[in-house]
Amino acid sequence: MTLNNVTERAMENKVVVVTGAGRGIGRGIALQMAAHGAKVVVNDAGVSLSGEAGNESPGEQVVAEIIVQGGEAVANNDSVAEWSGARKIVETAMDNFGAVDCVVNNAGILRDRIFHKMSPEEFEDVIKVHLSGSFYVSRAAAEHFREQKSGAFVHMTSASGLVGNFGQSNYSAAKLGIVGLSKSIALDMNRYNVRSNCICPFAMSRMVGAVPDDDGRVEAAKTLTPDKIAPIAVFLASDAAEEINGQILAVRRNEVFLMSQPRPIRSVHRSEGWTQETLAAHMLPSLKSSFLPLERSFEVFPWDPI
């Protein structure tokens, strides 16, 4: 799927907020949004991968790139992890461009740790940036979307949440939580012509690069470049995707997957109800063949990216 097959300049005169847009996937999305005519708020707090404050201003560098290419953009360095910061991000769009039409929730950090050693702070910090941050920025924009009766949210989930991974209970919980958040937004705001979808990106980024490469999977991921993610983000933000709402699309190099969402698989019934004994004797053997194994994403996607 390429955007050029849908329409040229698909985001003409639309205003887009991209969080965590100073590097990697976010940078690629911001650049391509601008290339397709959007006015872009490039948000990046300039923190390290684990969330520590730094002196860098990567968002301003991306803005400079966009302007050199003839686009319109403005930088914002507020944190998505605070409600006040999220509101300032959206206010930056309103103050500079007079509107907001799309939010791409991409900002994130990692604090990987095996579960029994993970501290409450490591868990809460990751939840705050990914899940709370996606809520804060979306909620701030929702007021404008409701008033104008249009808008699009694009949220970043992860195979770590949808499938699972070692040492990432905080990140996995946040990313699966984002799926629930997106679906609820889609249900609540569909009446206002507002759409909310998730992308599950397979791409080499600072986050992937920080994962221990015991089996060579990180090395293989270097072929999955962030530029492969940007077209689907632009498409979902555009009017051409008006029929897509509440969905999860995974992007793996040149492959696009529609991901499943929890639905009943099988059922068993006893008219008299259940006891501990009948659950063991009847329910367990009846459903066991349909249990999902403990897998990680590379076991669910075992073939080379194509």
Please tell me the predicted confidence (pLDDT) of residue 306: 86
Whether 136 sits among the annotated catalytic residues: the reply is no
CA distances from 184 to 18, 45, 130, 189, 298 (A): 21, 27, 16, 8, 29
Phi first, then psi: give them for residue 89, nearest 5 degrees: -60, -45
Please tell me the predicted confidence (pLDDT) of residue 38: 98
| 21 and 29 Cβ atoms separated by less than 8 Å | yes
Q: DSSP states of 111-124 as a string?
A: ----GGG--HHHHH
Instruction: Please check whether residue 159 lies inside any domain of the structure.
Output: yes
Instruction: Please check whether residue 12 lies inside any domain of the structure.
Output: yes
Residues spanned by the domain of 141:
7-258
Q: DSSP states of 124-143 as a string?
A: HHHHIIIIIHHHHHHHHHHH
Residue type, 202: F
Structure tokens at 233: 């983000």
Instruction: Please check whether residue 297 lies inside any domain of the structure.
Output: no
Instruction: Please check whether residue 209 lies inside any domain of the structure.
Output: yes
Low-confidence ranges of the chain (pLDDT < 50): 1-7
Query: How far is Cα 142 from Cα 136, in angstroms, rounded to an integer?
Result: 10
Query: How far is Cα 156 from Cα 259, in angstroms, rounded to an integer?
Result: 13
Residue type, 68: V
Instruction: Please check whether residue 170 lies inside any domain of the structure.
Output: yes
Q: What DSSP character marks residue 80?
A: T
The side-by-side arrangement of strands in the sheet containing 194-202 is 72-76, 39-43, 15-18, 102-105, 151-156, 194-202, 248-252, 255-258
Domain with residue 135: its CATH number is 3.40.50.720
Structure tokens at 59: 């968002």
pLDDT in tens, 28-68: 999 999 999 999 999 999 876 665 655 568 999 999 999 99
| 78 and 85 Cβ atoms separated by less than 8 Å | yes
Instruction: Please check whether residue 291 lies inside any domain of the structure.
Output: no
Please tell me the predicted confidence (pLDDT) of residue 8: 72
pTM (2 d.p.) = 0.90
Q: How many domains does the chain have?
A: 1
Helix-helix angle 133-148:83-97, to 10 degrees = 40
Query: How far is Cα 201 from Cα 166, in angstroms, rounded to an integer?
Result: 18
* Residues in contact with 142: Cβ distance below 8 Å, sequence separation at least 6, in sequence order: 151, 185, 189, 194
Instruction: Please check whether residue 81 lies inside any domain of the structure.
Output: yes
Q: Is residue 65 exposed (0-12), middle (13-18) or buried (19+ Cβ within 10 Å)?
A: middle
Please tell me the predicted confidence (pLDDT) of residue 203: 86
Question: What residues form DSSP beta bridges with 255?
Answer: 252
Please tell me the predicted confidence (pLDDT) of residue 208: 53
Query: How far is Cα 254 from Cα 130, in angstroms, rounded to an integer?
Result: 26
Catalytic residue among 171, 228, 234, 248: 171
Please tell me the predicted confidence (pLDDT) of residue 6: 39
Please tell me the predicted confidence (pLDDT) of residue 225: 87
Structure tokens at 155: 């949220």
Instruction: Please check whether residue 184 lies inside any domain of the structure.
Output: yes
Q: Pairing between strand 39-43 and 151-156?
A: unpaired
